[in-house]
Amino acid sequence: QVELVESGGGSVQPGASLTLSCVASTQTPSSFTIGWFRQAPGKEREFVAAITMRGFTYFGDSAKDRFTIARDNARNTVTLQMNAMKYDDTAIYYCTTRRPRNANTMFDPRQWDYWGQGTQVTVSS
């Protein structure tokens, strides 16, 4: 069974950094792409970043130039490094995974197959 467990959420000040981790169960095929979405209160779920098995990365507009994503296939772990955080980064962050498919569908949450429970990230002064 594919399971995803997020960790690393918390409260930070504007401008700070935070790293989220996602551990996928050993049943998760290594060929799967792993990504992050976030959802703020009253807003739609938004694509943040993703990384393929081979290390190709994709970023949403809100994450470009500030966030990085990395993958350790041996440990089934993906990390999301968030820098220069802003108030607008406040949201629940969800780890997600899916079978390889057209990258054009990366930004649509309906095109992802499995989801973690989410971890809260709050940016406040």
Reply yes or no on whether the pLDDT at 66 is more than 90.
Answer: yes
Return the structure tokens found at 84.
């220069």
Confidence band of 27 (pLDDT split at 50, 70, 90):
confident
Distance CA 14, CA 84 (A): 7
Beta bridge partners of 47: 37
Amino acid 29: pLDDT: 87
Adjacency order of strands within the sheet including 4-7: 4-7, 18-24, 77-82, 67-72
Amino acid 35: pLDDT: 97
Give the three-state DSSP class for 73.
helix
